[in-house]
Amino acid sequence: MSGKGSPRLEPGATIGVLGGGQLGRMLALAAAPLGLKVAVFDPAPGSPAFEVSGTHVCADWDDEAALARFADLCDVITLEFENVPVPAVEFLAARVPVRPGAGSLRVSQDRLVEKEFIAGLGIAVAPFAAVGSLDSLQTALAALGPDAILKTRRMGYDGKGQVRLSAGSDPGQAWQAIGEAPAILEGVVPFVAETSAIIARGMDGAIAAWDCPRNDHHGGILRRSSLPGPLDGPAQDRAVAIAGTIAAALDHVGVLTVEFFLTADGALLVNEIAPRTHNSGHWSIEGAHASQFTNNIRAVAGWPLAPTARRFVAVEMINLIGADVLEVEKLISETDAWLHLYGKSDVRDGRKMGHITRVCAL
Ligand code: AMP
């Protein structure tokens, strides 16, 4: 039973993807073996997902004629980018199911709303305070500082829109550095490791989860995700249960990622959530029975979720960031690893150009 709004898509149906970056590209690549077609919407010409999807629409998020054309192409719509403007999602959702829906986006687009929502579920987060002026920054610093991070509420990712403060920092300078935009101040969490719970949630509420990797960042950008991760069995169950609670509260369908700080006493604090597949889950393409991309497609298509168990004793995923990708000669010679290049021609500092996954079978 195919067609718009039907609970389970037939092979041959078209899944729309909002956003055409590398996550959209890997979603399209995962849909193909399931016999599902993909249409991609992105305002940027030459988006990495365009060249691996059957159709695309390249237009601005406020172009209603283009959005309507896109909705006509799709049986269901999912997303790879959490900053899709909510009015665009609402416009589409009036025509075709969008999974996850606007509710998941509203929460994850705003760090303050996100933190309040998660804390409201009784889940631990980094200590935080709302900042709307230099005065409120100074008050928040007195409560949470001196070591703290000032983050814009909206549009921050990969460490962008953030300033670190410590004893002796000038709050006025920090406030200017983030453009005096609505912000939150977070106390610095003395974590021993960072990890993430990535889960897929089906339309029936069923959940599939992947092992939680150890995530290493450099300069606010994920550099490496590796398994086994930092959590023992019970701690991983706790992380997955937290992600499940958040997903259920959002009535989320699709993949949801929850980033955590692990502290020395074993506490897990939520850093942030992403209502989508995540860089720290790329290892699952080869390292797990079904990848995060396959189960995102299955979930939004109304299909049962596929098994997510890890297939190797150890897996590591290394991001190829900026000039890393210029070592292409060396990378393609490494034949016992899986190389992924995202087809981005323009090499820029901090830009994710690809990744490489290595495994240890033992
Ligand atoms: P974010 O964009 O919020 O995920 O931050 C990027 C990275 O900065 C995180 O993965 C951490 O390594 C670091 N970071 C962010 N917030 C905090 C915090 N409250 N305490 C300690 N480190 C943080």
Please state, in angstroms and rounded to a whole number, the distance separating the CA atoms of residues 104 and 246.
10
pLDDT (0 to 100) of residue 218: 93
Atom of ligand 1 nearest to the CA of 217: 12
Class of residue 219 by CB neighbours under 10 A (exposed 0-12, middle 13-18, buried 19+): exposed
CATH 3.40.50.20 fits 14-98, yes or no: yes
- Class of the CATH domain delimited by 127-187: alpha beta
pLDDT (0 to 100) of residue 161: 85
pLDDT surpasses 50 at 243: yes
Establish whether residue 188 lines the binding site of ligand 1, counting it when its CB lies within 6 angstroms of any ligand atom.
yes
Nearest residue to 39 via CA among 61, 11, 69: 69
Mean of per-residue pLDDT scores for the chain? 95
pLDDT (0 to 100) of residue 155: 85
Atom of ligand 1 nearest to the CA of 157: 2
Q: Say if strands 221-227 and 314-321 run parallel, antiparallel, or are unpaired.
A: antiparallel
Establish whether residue 159 lines the binding site of ligand 1, counting it when its CB lies within 6 angstroms of any ligand atom.
yes
Nearest residue to 199 via CA among 148, 257, 136: 257
Contacts of 32 (CB under 8 A, 6+ apart): 38
Whose alpha carbon is nearest atom 7 of ligand 1? 220
Establish whether residue 114 lines the binding site of ligand 1, counting it when its CB lies within 6 angstroms of any ligand atom.
no
Ligand 1 center to residue 188 CA distance, Å? 8
Mapped onto helix, strand or coil, the DSSP state of residue 142 is: helix
Segment 282-294, tens digit of pLDDT? 999 999 999 999 9
pLDDT surpasses 70 at 295: yes
Segment 36-78, tens digit of pLDDT? 999 999 999 999 999 999 999 999 999 999 999 999 999 999 9
- Give the CATH H-level superfamily of domain 191-360: ATP-grasp fold, B domain (3.30.470.20)
State the average pLDDT over residues 299-325.
Answer: 97
Ligand 1 center to residue 232 CA distance, Å? 22
Segment 179-193, tens digit of pLDDT? 999 999 999 999 999
pLDDT (0 to 100) of residue 173: 96
Q: What are the DSSP E strand ranges found in 219-313?
A: 221-227, 254-263, 268-274
Percent of the chain at pLDDT > 90 equals 94
Instruction: Return the residue matching tokens 């953030």.
Output: 162
Contacts of 311 (CB under 8 A, 6+ apart): 286, 287, 288, 289, 359
Residue 98: DSSP 8-state: B
pTM: 0.96
Domain boundaries, the chain: 14-98, 127-187, 191-360
State the average pLDDT over residues 112-126.
Answer: 98
Contacts of 294 (CB under 8 A, 6+ apart): 30, 34, 306
pLDDT (0 to 100) of residue 290: 98
Cis peptide before 100 (omega within 30 of 0): yes
State the average pLDDT over residues 120-132.
Answer: 97
pLDDT (0 to 100) of residue 2: 45
Sheet containing strand 183-187, strands side by side: 128-131, 183-187, 148-152, 162-165
pLDDT (0 to 100) of residue 7: 81
Whose alpha carbon is nearest atom 8 of ligand 1? 220
pLDDT (0 to 100) of residue 158: 62
Ligand 1 center to residue 26 CA distance, Å? 26
Tokens at 196, concatenated: 């993430």
